[in-house]
Amino acid sequence: MIYFNGKPADLQSLARRYPQSGIEHACAAILAHSHADYNYGSPEELDFELALRRAIVDRSERLRRSGLNFETFRKAYCNARYWTRRPDGGFEVRRGAPASAAVRDIYSNGGAYGTECATAMQIVYYGALLDTVPEAAFDNQFSGMRLMNWHDISPALRETGLMDREPDYLPGDRRYFANPDVNLNTPEWQGENVIDMGDGTYYGHGVGRFCGADIVADLNKNRRPGATREAYLMNSAGRPNFAKLYGIFGQRRRASA
């Protein structure tokens, strides 16, 4: 159930608030009919979360089509015009380069980049925020941006690295397919970070966009000899702290969002 400042939301008004064929409508329906309570300070705060979820799904598909290559951190590479490759395989925005321009370059020039799936998830989140908040606010918040894993991410997005069991799973959630019997010769297949695309498919960098059964089948091809445990979708999700992001960016949403 959705509450605004402790008061139940009017579900009919809520249903009219979002286009029926959109991600926002699908997410609102899940939240509104859940047995769990979801409290927002205002309808605008809910708008922000749902717009960002839509942008996460949109940016996942755009990254899939960008030509971004899959590489381990040891072999990672990036466009030196905007990014510096660190010795650990992470990327750091070059001094003087706007974070917004650096992120956009990955989407428009993906073939110049190679990295693994955790970094790709961060690229999705930053791209989604770039579509949701004004560019100047984005650049101010994320100057000196670094891309690598969950231990080296902006405090504003730190919660995306945490996987928790949730009462509901929604489009835009980060999920994880684990491969407990991975072949030690291919440790990069120990699991796959994915985004729930809201239509029964998941986007994961290195595997593409497929239903869960297909991703499990791919991971199962990379198990050790004699493996007895199949890959599986973990019963948990990682997601931004939407309330914190709304507090950071407030009413400064992009006019087109």
Taking only the tens place, the pLDDT of each residue in 241-257 is 999 999 999 765 554 44
DSSP label at residue 237: B
Please state, for a pLDDT cut of 90, what percent of the chain lies above it.
Answer: 90
Query: Structural domain boundaries of the chain?
Result: 174-233
pLDDT digits (tens, 9 = 90+) for 166-206: 999 999 999 999 999 999 999 989 999 999 999 999 999 99
pLDDT digits (tens, 9 = 90+) for 63-121: 999 999 999 999 999 999 999 999 999 999 999 999 999 999 999 999 999 999 999 99
Q: What pLDDT score does 149 carry?
A: 87
Using alpha carbons, select from 155, 141, 158 the residue that is nearest to residue 93. 141
Using alpha carbons, select from 144, 147, 145, 63 the residue that is nearest to residue 111. 63
Pairing of strands 38-40, 2-4: parallel
Query: Widest CA span of the chain, in angstroms?
Result: 56
Alpha-carbon gap, residue 174 to 112, rounded angstroms: 25
Pairing of strands 174-178, 191-196: antiparallel
pLDDT digits (tens, 9 = 90+) for 112-166: 999 999 999 999 999 999 999 999 999 999 999 999 988 889 999 999 999 999 9
Write the CB contacts of 190 (distance below 8 Å, at least 6 apart in sequence).
Answer: 178, 179, 182
Pairing of strands 91-93, 83-85: antiparallel
Backbone angles phi, psi at 162, to 5 degrees: -100, 130
